[in-house]
């Protein structure tokens, strides 16, 4: 029995055109890129403190956000979301909990990068560009920030490190 890729005939037809049309990256993959980040949490940080994790093009498709952290006692609720890329460190919020909501960083992760920083992404949003996940009506074709917001935080310092895996839509 043959296994047929539903996109194969469409891709071959596009490649046969003059000039050829390349296959769609959303259905046939694209180069995976990664950004590493490290955030130092201070004992003086408070609720509503924000940290920039990365700046990504608005057409980025986030595949995964992996997190590792030291035990930051009292940091029991933090959101990872999408922010405007502005002159401030993080920018104004667009969708504050687009990737994760109320995640706890109070207990250290047992394995490096074992926590899921994109737990709030629903199956319906899987494979969407970050401007779509943010709820924007069109692609602003600019950088957008991925940021962490503290909702509930104690007075213990610590470190949050991670990797954001993403690809770019055509």
Render pLDDT for 16-37 as a digit per residue (tens, 0 to 9).
666 666 556 666 667 899 999 9
Model-level pTM?
A: 0.81
Tell me the residue range of the domain where 84 lies: 31-168
Instruction: Evaluate whether 115 touches 67 at the Cβ level (below 8 Å).
Output: yes
| C-alpha distances out from residue 138 to 100, 118, 142, Å | 23, 22, 11
50-67 tens-digit pLDDT = 999 999 999 999 999 999
Same domain, 79 and 16: no
- Number of structural domains (the chain) is 2
Same domain, 63 and 9: no
Same domain, 17 and 97: no
125-144 tens-digit pLDDT = 888 999 999 999 999 999 99
CATH for 60:
2.60.120
Same domain, 25 and 36: no
Give the model's confidence band at 148: pLDDT under 50 very low, under 70 low, under 90 confident, else very high: very high
What is the spatial distance between Cα 108 and Cα 91, in angstroms, rounded to a whole number? 28
Which pLDDT value is given to residue 118?
A: 83
């Amino acid at each position: 029995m043959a296994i047929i890729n539903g996109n194969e005939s469409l891709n071959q037809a596009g490649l046969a055109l003059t000039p050829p049309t390349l296959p769609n990256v959303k259905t046939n993959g694209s180069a995976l890129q990664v950004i590493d980040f490290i955030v130092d949490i201070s004992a003086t940080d408070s609720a509503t403190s924000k940290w920039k994790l990365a700046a990504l093009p608005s057409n980025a498709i986030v595949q995964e956000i992996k997190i590792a952290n030291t035990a930051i006692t009292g940091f029991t609720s933090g959101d990872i979301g999408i922010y405007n890329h502005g002159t401030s460190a993080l920018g104004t919020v667009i969708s504050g909990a687009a990737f994760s909501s109320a995640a706890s960083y109070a207990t250290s992760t047992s394995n490096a990068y074992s926590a899921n920083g994109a737990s709030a992404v629903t199956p319906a949003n899987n494979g969407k560009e970050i401007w779509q996940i943010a709820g924007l009506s069109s692609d602003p074709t600019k950088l957008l920030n991925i940021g962490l917001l503290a909702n509930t935080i104690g007075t213990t310092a610590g470190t949050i490190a991670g990797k954001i895996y993403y690809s770019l839509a055509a």
